Structure 1
Amino acid sequence: MTTPTPEAADGTALVVIDMLNPYRHQDADLLVPSVGKALPAVEQALSAARAARVPVVYANDNFGQWRSHHGEIADVALAGAHPELVEPVLPDDDSLFVVKARHSVFYETPLTYLLSTMDVTRLILVGQVTEQCVLYSALDAHIRHLDVVVPTRAVAHIHADLAEAALRMMERNMGARLLHGSVTF
């Protein structure tokens, strides 16, 4: 028996981007400090979404392991260089999961279909990396006529200057709402 997909009561879903990360890649040393700063805000957004029964969708790279599933991706991340950045934001039993291979959470994934089955019209994007995956996901959400909210304290970057430019582009060019405080539902 399959569990029905939850419906987004107010049309909102929280999308957690690439937080299950083993931090064994080229830019990890630059990324880790920013993830540490963003982690409390990501945890707060997750807690608020879960308390309000807002759908939480994890969209995560599989790091080229095409036989993996979300449990294995989490296990690899926990066994990585910084499990303290992974453990607080692990998916719970109600979380949904989409495996992605490129920067956007939409590219060649079933996310568009999944969001439509839940009547989602607004995405709150948290995670990493602001100037890469968050930016491209916001653009793809925009072209799908979805409203985008980016809590600025809940996204991590590799390069601060590029992240700031990416946030400005999301706001100006994509109509994204930048949230400078806590996420509430």
Structure 2
Amino acid sequence: MESSETALLIIDMINDFNFEHGNILAEKALKIADQIQLLKKQCEKENIPIIYINDHYNLWQAELNKVIEYCKNEKSESVIGKIKPTDKDYFLIKPRHSAFYGTALHTLLTQLQVKKLILSGIAGNICVLFTANDAYMREYPLLIPDNCIASVDDEDNHYAIRMMKNVMRAKIFTFKENTSISPLSSS
């Protein structure tokens, strides 16, 4: 297990989008999937661990392939195809909105010696925001690539990003391909 000062969390991108406004969120998830994939590739280059944290869909098994199979449908297939985890990535399930609540995330981050978190995924105003809050409460500095987070409503997404910046002291940035993460995480 390699250690890194920083880790990338990809929240709820393996999703079935079978809920109210799921079609809208699926479209927005597809728009950010390419950016998250580029961010993930940059993190891989810099040996930054990638941790997928996902709803469990009442499967209650942290078995990636079962979750993917359950989520695959015409709304989700293109998102999952772009963002699917590799064997090098970590995968955890979560029972509620926060990636920390009822999960092994804090233990994993401790073992990896992670001190800072990059948050990405959906929905920015719910699961990403709740995760950011819990990370802040645990004193993790946060990096938020604003083009790697989406919510059903754009105004809600902007509000969530503003809250992460103003309340949780997150560093907000727009990720661009081949942008090194190391300088961002050292400031």
TM over 0.5: same fold?
A: yes
Between the aligned residues of both structures, percent identity stands at 26
Please state whether the residue corresponding to 1:136 is helix, strand or coil.
helix
Moved more, 44-53 or 149-158: 44-53
Would you say the 8 A contact 2:26–2:75 is kept in 1?
Answer: no
CA distance in 1: counterparts of 2:27 and 2:81, whole angstroms: 16
Please state whether the residue corresponding to 2:28 is helix, strand or coil.
helix
CA RMSD of aligned residues (A): 1.4
Moved more, 36-45 or 175-184: 175-184
Cα gap change, 1:60 to 1:80, in 2 (>3 Å) = farther
1:35-184 matches, cutoff 5 A: 35-67=29-61, 69-79=63-73, 81-182=75-176, 184=180
Deviation by residue 1:133-183 (Cα, 9 ceiling, x = unmatched): 000000100010101111000111111111111110100000001112325
Counting matched residue pairs gives: 179
Please state whether the residue corresponding to 1:58 is helix, strand or coil.
strand
TM-score of the aligned structures, taking structure 2 as reference length: 0.90
Confirm whether residue 29 of structure 1 aligns to residue 28 of structure 2: no
CA distance in 2: counterparts of 1:75 and 1:50, whole angstroms: 25
CA distance in 1: counterparts of 2:51 and 2:35, whole angstroms: 17
Please state whether the residue corresponding to 2:113 is helix, strand or coil.
coil
- Shift in Å at residue 82 of structure 1? 2.3
Would you say the 8 A contact 2:165–2:172 is kept in 1?
Answer: yes
Could you tell me which runs of 5 or more consecutive residues in structure 2 were left unpaired when the two chains were aligned.
182-187
Would you say the 8 A contact 2:119–2:143 is kept in 1?
Answer: yes
Would you say the 8 A contact 2:8–2:50 is kept in 1?
Answer: yes
- Shift in Å at residue 79 of structure 1? 4.0
